[in-house]
């Protein structure tokens, strides 16, 4: 079973869940999730001879939640990953991310390739720095009510999602488009009568307890730095991600339609070792199809 503890990184407390001994594999969750989203991977990696560590990223779960929006930039998030690798006594790790965690791990491999033995991105592919700020591009492509643009106004999405945490998470995780959508993010989805097979009521209750305690503001602040990140990473325009890489995505993941893994994205990962398309799988990849994801990660690790 994984054990939990807190570590001090970059002036804040970060909660980690860890299991096993061996080469370090760091697991980085997305929105709205926590380290608990990697519960199926921690044991599988530990059993295969790895030190598997999942963190609650800053703003999430039992980790600290700095007040300032500017405390959630890509440099802060990558800084936490690098500091954690060193705090755990290692010079390098394989970094695995899902959703926003993928953005963090791709950027860790970009900004600090010296600490990354290999990088696995799940759902979100490596995203080249575009010609315009991301929120300008998303509004042009998807409209002003696109969720990433909706998230920008402090307090608005926070209040919507906090109002009924259990309902918000049920809607978001199940992703059943609403017949009559209500305003907001979770309101785009109907609340299902029963949960999908990949998550139990007890597992959902764990996430509900965590987000009831933490709120959603920390995670939303990641989106509020999208344009700031673009401005501050100008020096990395067109720089390739050089560590060995693997990309995994569910065939029914809506992210595939928003950000298809096309030639532009492949071009920035010259050491791409594979692409895994997971059948009958939506966005919550490592929770929906843990056996497929675990096998893909382990095969990639064995090839390093």
The 8-class DSSP code of residue 70 comes to G
DSSP for 177-189? Answer: E-SSPPSSSGGGE
Q: Is beta strand 93-98 parallel, antiparallel or unpaired with respect to 116-122? A: parallel
How many C-alpha atoms does 164 have within 13 Å on its Cβ side?
Answer: 9
C-alpha 93/C-alpha 112 separation (Å) is 11
C-alpha 28/C-alpha 121 separation (Å) is 10
C-alpha 206/C-alpha 193 separation (Å) is 19
Q: How far, rounded to the nearest angstrom, does the alpha carbon of residue 161 sit from its chain's CA centroid?
A: 18
Catalytic residue among 29, 76, 98, 283: 283
Is 262 annotated in the active site? no
Helices (H) and strands (E) in the chain, counts: 14, 10
Q: Is it true that the peptide bond before 237 is cis, omega within 30 degrees of 0?
A: no
Is 283 annotated in the active site? yes
Residue 94: how many other CB atoms lie within 10 Å:
24
Which of 152-191 are b and which e, b meaning 16 or more Cβ less than 10 Å from the residue's Cβ? eeeeebbebbbeebeebbbbbbbbeeeeeeeebbbebbbe
C-alpha 47/C-alpha 237 separation (Å) is 40
261, 275 Cβ separation under 8 angstroms: yes
Q: Which two tokens stand for residue 100?
A: 């926003």
C-alpha 133/C-alpha 130 separation (Å) is 7
Catalytic residue among 64, 99, 158, 253: 99
Any idea which residues carry the catalytic annotation?
A: 99, 283
């Amino acid at each position: 079973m994984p054990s939990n503890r807190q570590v001090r990184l970059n002036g804040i407390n970060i909660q980690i869940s860890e299991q096993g001994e061996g080469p370090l594999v760091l697991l980085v969750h997305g929105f709205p999730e926590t380290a608990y989203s990697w519960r199926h991977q921690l044991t599988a990696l530990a059993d295969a001879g790895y030190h598997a560590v999942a963190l609650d990223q800053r703003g999430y779960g039992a980790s600290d939640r700095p007040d300032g929006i500017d405390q959630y930039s890509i440099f802060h998030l990558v800084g936490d990953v690098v500091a954690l690798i060193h705090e755990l006594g290692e010079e390098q790790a394989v970094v695995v991310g899902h959703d926003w965690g993928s953005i963090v791990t791709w950027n860790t491999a970009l900004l600090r390739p010296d600490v990354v033995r290999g990088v696995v991105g799940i759902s979100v592919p490596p995203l080249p720095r575009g010609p315009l700020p991301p929120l300008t591009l998303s509004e042009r492509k998807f409209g002003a009510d696109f969720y990433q643009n909706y998230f920008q106004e402090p307090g608005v999405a926070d209040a919507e999602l906090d109002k009924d945490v259990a309902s918000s998470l049920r809607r978001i995780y199940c992703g059943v488009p609403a017949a009559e959508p209500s305003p907001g993010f979770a309101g785009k989805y109907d609340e299902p009568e029963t949960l999908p097979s990949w998550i139990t009521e007890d597992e959902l209750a764990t996430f509900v307890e965590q987000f009831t305690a933490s709120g959603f503001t920390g995670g939303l602040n990641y989106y509020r730095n999208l344009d700031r990140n673009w401005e501050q990473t100008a020096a990395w325009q067109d720089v390739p991600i050089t560590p060995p890489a693997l990309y995994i995505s569910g065939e029914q993941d809506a992210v595939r339609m928003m950000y298809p893994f096309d030639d532009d994205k492949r071009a920035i990962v010259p050491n791409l070792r594979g692409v895994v398309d997971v059948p009958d799988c939506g966005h919550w990849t490592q929770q929906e199809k843990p056996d497929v994801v675990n096998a893909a990660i382990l095969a990639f690790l064995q090839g390093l």
